[in-house]
Structure 1
């Protein structure tokens, strides 16, 4: 049985570390803003096992003019569960979570290999690729909601 629910920031480490920070210390899984009251962490569970996570920050990027901005960070699905629609479930959960807001920009820095996934969900690349140290090439992506 599949369910998505709120989880703690530290619970995200169970998926962030093997997927996003493989070989790096556990403390590298802690992101700035993880424990702010305006940050939400969602976990996707299959039969009570956490298999995917996403963090949803109220965070403004000065590139965009909209007042209501949210950033997706730490999106990760355990490898054996990838390409089965679970990532899409988590992104859509974030979009639904803010459905009562108006004029929203959702943005994030997507790893190069994840760009096609996000484009299928209606997100657009903004500007040129850039490198994040020790992680790799990324693109700024966004989608307007409402």
Structure 2
């Protein structure tokens, strides 16, 4: 997880993957290097929850995609791609369960500047979406999927 990671983000991702019937492996590393991830060639995509800037700044150095939790939410069709790219990982009012301070399971913070590009409140999970078993996201509203 790293110093900036969140067990809740990891639990949410694993719950979503289980709900969708997708296999995954949890890997704990002191540091993420392309050579280390290359030791598991059967993995098609990596999602790291330590710091989103690792994927954003260094993702192209890896032989397989190294996604942020937000990008994983897009790939799992939980939300449509947002423009501009949401950089709200530490925002007090974040856009989704891929961020540290999102949802009712997070401790409350003093009100601050709201996140830019707020997800539409009136939208809900599409009927075809599979909700998580073990986390609170099943009660949340998310942006609609792109057609």
Q: Same fold judged by TM-score > 0.5?
A: no
Higher RCO, 1 vs 2 (CA within 8 Å, ≥6 residues apart)? 2
Rg (Cα) greater in structure: 2
The structure that is strand-richer by fraction is: 1
Q: Which TM-score applies when normalising by structure 1? A: 0.31
Q: Which TM-score applies when normalising by structure 2? A: 0.31
